[in-house]
Structure 1
Amino acid sequence: MSTVKVGLIQIHCGKIIEHNIQKTIEKIKGTVKKGAQIVCLQELFSSEYFPQTVNVKNYDLAENIDSGTLAEMGELAKELAIVLIVPFYERAGTGIYFNSAAIFDADGECLGITRKNHIPDGPQYHEKYYFVPGNTGYPVYETAYGKIGVGICWDEWFPEVARLMSLQGAEILFYPSAIGSEPDHPEISTRSSWEKAISAHGISNGVFVAATNRVGQEKDMNFYGGSFISDTFGNILASLDDEEGIIVQEINLKDIERTRNMLQFFRDRRVDTYAPILQKEMLSTPSLKSKNKQSAFLFKET
């Protein structure tokens, strides 16, 4: 299959979980009516963004992987014959919680769980209180409609995540998100930077990118939406503004080979020079003296 239709859901979440789920199901069916074959929901789609505050009661929102919500989504994927990416708050054990996404194939089978690796912490983004860093790595799923990778919200900013999934054969990178206002910098919107940073992964790796975000006011935060799908050159193919809605966009997976044959980033990688990237601390700049020594060595006649 060379062409596939990708669908994204962007909704405003209210206080009542059942209402959010039902609204999402209606939107999913709306994308299928427009031909969507792979559909991605926004991060923590069933509830308001609870990490705005630190509250032990919010742990009660976590679900087991065999919860009723996920079972319903699996049945829906089977009924509609779609691949469905379902982000959820995962209860993995007593006191162990992950920010996760379940990937259902078109026959309703759960292909696996991706757990969010990079956990942010800042004003009204108190995620380290709620989530353990992921331990699933960066899996790629071979679905009925193509190979996909999933990075959850903060993961989407890191180029290493996109590269690792792309190297494993991912053709479309999905990024379910929950991003909006910055309470300590109310004068700044990250929306443009968000779109540029994520769509740039498509350029660097020659893949399609699909990022979906929530939208609207939730307690003290405003989420700016802006869900989009971009191509292998980082061009925005379809997007939403700051309103609820859906995107359905057809893409041609053959464009991946065409792009990579033009921009040979994979061929020209110098993995033998990348060891310093594994160091946590900032790298110091070599002194002029050491640079001169290196230059003398490099250009010494033999």
Structure 2
Amino acid sequence: MTENVTIGLVQMKCGEDIAQNTACTVEKIKEAAAKGAQIVCLQELFNAQYCGQQLDVTLYDTAEPVDCTMLAGMSELAKSLGIVLIVPFYEKAGRGLYFNSAAVYDADGRHLGTTRKNHIPHAPQYEEKYYFAPGNTGYPVYETRFGKIGIGICWDEWFPEVARILALKGAEILFYPSAIGSDHDNPELSLRPSWEKAISAHGISNGVFIAASNRVGRENAMTFYGGSFVSDPLGTVLQSLDAKEGILIQQIDLGQIDFARNLLQFLRDRRPETYGPLLELEAFSGMKK
């Protein structure tokens, strides 16, 4: 396992045709690999328009099991290109049971596992509780050919607890596939700067690299702002994309993790025995009735 790793993030807009979106994504994955990417991450729910804008029972029919033909094709693609591939998809785990998930394939095509989104938002145009059960896979870390990685899916990326757990379990790169854009109640507001700051700050607190991939473009009443980026263990954004389709290719040096953690000894100086209130929903008097 080398210290230098090249990350590829695919930032796309999605039309109504799932098969066409999938085919387009496959071509972008091949392009990323041709440009040197060793780990490629797609956006949340990569091949369909974002479902959370409305409540539509027919959209359950777009969910697929982890052994579906589409994911089998992604496994073969990872193997043929020799890349690690993170594929966020709408998972059908059983009759009437659905998750917002990300399947991880190693560079030999092996399915290393699936992360299911833990934090499920409920807000105008983000009606995800209708479509997804809360994840039950915990916070797995995957030891791939090119490094140890952890995944937080969209809303998960805002929670510092997720990043800390993944870092403590050995993750060196945190991948955050996303679908985030305009706010229904504040149409003039862009949360992109806050999004980038909040997530890159996890890199500082945990001494890890961050790679966030977002979708882009107009879908029904929402505009997704893109902004996919990679940041280093001191929170510096190494590269980001504008609000248009694109592929981000960024080489990183995992050895920088040692430097950052030796400089800022957050993991050494933790006091987990004092963190009991974090396990209580109403830990502080200001939150109690």
1:7-26 residue pairs with structure 2 within 5 A?
A: 7-26=8-27
Letter in structure 2 aligned against 1:104: Y
Q: How does 1:193-204 map to 2 (within 5 A)?
A: 193-204=194-205
Does the Cα contact within 8 Å between 2:277 and 2:283 map onto a contact in 1? no
Find the counterpart in structure 1 of residue 162 from structure 2. 161
1:133-212 to 2 correspondence within 5 Å?
A: 133-212=134-213
Matching residue of 2:58: 57
Secondary structure of the structure 2 residue equivalent to 1:185: coil
Q: Which residue of 1 aligns with 2:105?
A: 104
Q: Structure 1: which amino acid aligns with 2:65?
A: N
Cα distance in 2 between the residues matched to 1:162 and 1:32: 27
Which residue identity does 2:124 align to in structure 1? P
Could you give the per-residue CA deviations for residues 34-75 of structure 1, whole angstroms, max 9, x where no partner exists? 100000000000100011100110000100111111001000
CA distance in 2, matches of 1:277, 1:162: 15
Identity rate of aligned residues, in percent?
A: 65
Query: Which residues of 2 match residues 275-286 of structure 1 at below 5 A?
Result: 275-284=276-285
CA distance in structure 2 between the aligned counterparts of 1:18 and 1:131, rounded to whole angstroms: 22
TM-score, normalized by length of structure 2? Answer: 0.98
SS at match of 1:229: strand
Q: Secondary structure at the match of 2:122?
A: coil
C-alpha distance in structure 2 between counterparts of 1:272 and 1:212, whole Å: 35
What is the distance in 1 between the residues matched to 2:283 and 2:26? 46
TM-score in terms of structure 1 length = 0.94
Aligned partners of 1:282, 1:249: CA distance in 2, in Å? 41
Secondary structure of 1:204 counterpart: helix
User: 1:197 & 1:120 partners in 2: Cα distance?
Assistant: 17
Runs of 4+ in structure 1 displaced over 2 angstroms?
Answer: none
- Give, in angstroms, the shift of residue 282 of structure 1: 4.8
Contact 2:152-2:162 at 8 Å conserved across structures: yes
User: Which stretch of the first structure deviates more once superposed, 142-151 or 275-284?
Assistant: 275-284
1:86 matched residue in structure 2: 87
Q: Provide structure 1 residue ranges, at least 5 long, that are not aligned to the other structure.
A: 286-302
Letter in 1 for 2:247: I
**d(CA) in 2 for partners of 1:25 and 1:150?**
21
Deviation track 1:239-297 (CA, whole Å, cap 9, x = no partner) reads 10100000110000000011100100000111111000111015016xxxxxxxxxxxx
CA–CA separation in structure 1 for the residues paired with 2:220 and 2:227: 20
User: Is 2:117–2:135's contact at 8 Å kept on the other side of the alignment?
Assistant: yes
One-letter amino acid of the structure 2 residue matched with residue 136 of structure 1: T
Matched residue type, 1:247: L
- Mapped partners of 1:69, 1:51: distance in 2: 22
What letter is aligned with 1:215? V
Superposed CA offset, 1:1-36 (max 9, x none): 110000000001000011111111111111111100
